[in-house]
Structure 1
Amino acid sequence: MPPDSTTAMRALIARIRHELPLDDPAARVCHGACAGGCAPKLLAFIEQQLDDWEWRLSAGARPGFAELSALARSARRVHAVLVRDGLLSAPTEPLHD
């Protein structure tokens, strides 16, 4: 049986926090070579989304499939830009919805 949506969202948030360099100061510095977007701005954007969802979950919100998919899609796009910019290596296993 699949997990409930709250458990799935918490697992997705944990995986995103683990796989993206949110705590890496080097990723937060503009290197001037943005292949598909500004890495510091994209990391700030996804971190804000994660913080927002953690707050909403703690307040009792129950995400739907659309919210899970949207967060996973955003994380995949940020990851792809970080790979293109050379800040991350290509994933061995992509984030799934």
Structure 2
Amino acid sequence: MAMRELIRTIRSHIPFGLKEADMCQGICRGCSKKMLEMLDTEISQWEVDLNNQRVRPTLADLAFVEKLARRTHKVLQRNNLIKGGL
């Protein structure tokens, strides 16, 4: 299923385990903590819904989750918390 694959890709490229002390050092160019929390909440809810077979994701759902992941990745890059592309 496309949403499960997208979630797997996101979880493998986004470092959800960053400590707050590491995220909140120096100049902040977008809030890494808030973006990570928002993305984690979104994909965690999708995982629950997919496991319970409550909903089927639409293309719009996939596009939204991908866009949120890309924005989160970009903020983490700007704050020098990760390198490379998504």
Q: Would the TM-score normalized by the shorter structure come out above 0.5?
A: yes
Match of 1:22 in 2: 16
Match of 1:4 in 2: none
Higher RCO, 1 or 2 (CA under 8 Å, sep at least 6)? 2
TM-score (normalised: structure 2): 0.89
Superposition pairs of residues 7-86 of structure 1, within 5 angstroms: 7-25=1-19, 29-35=23-29, 37-60=30-53, 61-86=55-80
How far off its partner does 1:90 sit?
Answer: 2.5
- Segments of structure 2 that go 5 or more residues without pairing to the other structure are none
CA gap of 1:11–1:27, structure 2 versus 1, over 3 A, is farther
How far off its partner does 1:28 sit?
Answer: 6.0
Aligned letter for 2:27?
A
Identify which range, 26-35 or 37-46, moves more after superposition: 26-35
TM-score (normalised: structure 1): 0.79
How many residues were matched structurally? 85
Aligned partner of residue 21 in structure 1, secondary structure = coil
Structure 1 stretches of 4+ moved >6 Å: none
**Alignment RMSD (CA, Å):** 1.7
Which structure: greater helix fraction? 2
